[in-house]
Amino acid sequence: MITKIRGTEDILPNDCGLWRYVEETARELCRVFGYGEIRTPVFENTELFNRGVGDTTDVVQKEMYTFLDKGGRSMTLKPEGTATLVRSYIENSLYANPQPTKLYYIIPCFRYEKPEAGRLREFHQFGIECFGAETAKTDAEIIALAMTFLDRLGIKNLKLNINNIGCPKCRAEYNKKLVEYFSRFKDRLCTTCLGRLEKNPMRIIDCKSEVCSGIAENAPRMLDYLCEDCSKHFEETKLNLDNLSIDYTINPNIVRGLDYYTKTVFEIIADIDGSSLTVCGGGRYNGLVEQLGGKPTEGIGFAAGLERLIMIMKSQGIMPVALENAPEIFIGTIGKDAEQFAQRLVYDLRINGIYVENDLLLRSVKAQMKYANKINAKYSMILGDDEVKENTASLKNMESGEEVQIELSAEKIIESLKK
């Protein structure tokens, strides 16, 4: 038997309701915050991610799904959403619209990682990006949207961590201090981090190796080297979060895993069974638009992995009432004439927004009622020749057993269901 590829999952009907709930919650929240949806290609030119994400990151060095197309061009399945949106922002001249440009996306992404709970090789992200707004008020709005989204889903035990990782101006001095510090441990750093030492020493702080991360614990902190502008921006961001009554913790270890971040970075953590999981992360990337060929433009955004969100919701027993997917009514039949009459009635109810099921397998009446019970139908009725002739039938409440006579029209049935 051919089986699914390792690191991928089938999202089955029982789970699709929860997925739709998460996605619809995201869409509605973006609507009221003023973010418009954007849809971009699943694959892009590999150069976009090499330049945008950063060639010293784990994503580019180890995790991208890259291939040559039939024209010999290097293509990559997108491992994240921001670089793609920046490319679209530039290519489609979205900067010519009234600013800021506020976008959201729900996309599949691909990274060659070791599959584990909540982390797959094909995964899905909900993300937002805001271009053209440099104020700390924007940072607070982005974080508020992320926190509100998770709160709307009902996720508990959330903690917001924030940091400021500076700009190219103040990071130059900071990188010198990092090189000076990490050079003392060259004999212990992993091969990847030895390569990062000269190119991008800040990446060492984000290394997943226990040895490297242990060494990084005592490394210099960016907060001690912020320039005046970055320091002021960080203070204003905190003031705006305070104004919105959003609790946060300053965590100087947050650097995020992609090279385009500047100034504000943040992560939202959920505590699950004694362990901490990052459910959402983001920050500023003020140089990325220019780096990818556009004019200097501020940018900020976040992304949340849907698989991990849904795993956490399940572990916390979150199952919204809106996800109940039981039929409002099951209509069974006896005989050919009743079957054809029921087919028309079922169709009328469905086009009027009623979830109704009927028998498609020519089962006995007893078997039809067993089926109605199994699918948790709220009401049922059985139509035979007499019911069709008299244009009335008995509508049964499947929980209480109560029955009422009702006229066989979609309008009358809908009236009874609403009562």
Structure tokens at 200: 């991008």
Say if domain 13-167+227-315 classifies as CATH 3.30.930.10.
Answer: yes
Domain ranges of the chain: 13-167+227-315, 326-418
Judge whether 338 and 387 are in contact, CB under 8 Å.
yes
DSSP state, residue 342: H
Cα separation, 54 vs 196, whole angstroms: 11
Provide CATH code, domain 326-418: 3.40.50.800
Residue whose entry in the numeric block shows the structure tokens 């190796």 = 209
pTM attached to this predicted model:
0.86
DSSP state, residue 63: I
pLDDT in tens, the chain (419 residues): 999 999 999 999 889 989 999 999 999 999 999 999 999 999 999 999 999 888 767 788 889 999 999 999 999 999 999 999 999 999 999 999 999 999 999 999 999 988 887 789 999 999 999 999 999 999 999 999 999 999 999 999 999 999 999 998 998 888 899 999 999 998 899 988 988 888 888 888 878 788 998 998 899 999 999 999 999 999 999 999 999 999 999 998 887 766 788 999 999 999 877 778 899 999 999 999 999 999 999 999 999 999 999 999 999 998 886 556 789 999 999 999 999 999 999 999 999 999 999 999 999 999 999 999 999 999 999 999 999 999 999 999 999 999 999 999 999 999 999 87
Judge whether 172 and 202 are in contact, CB under 8 Å.
no
Judge whether 162 and 253 are in contact, CB under 8 Å.
no
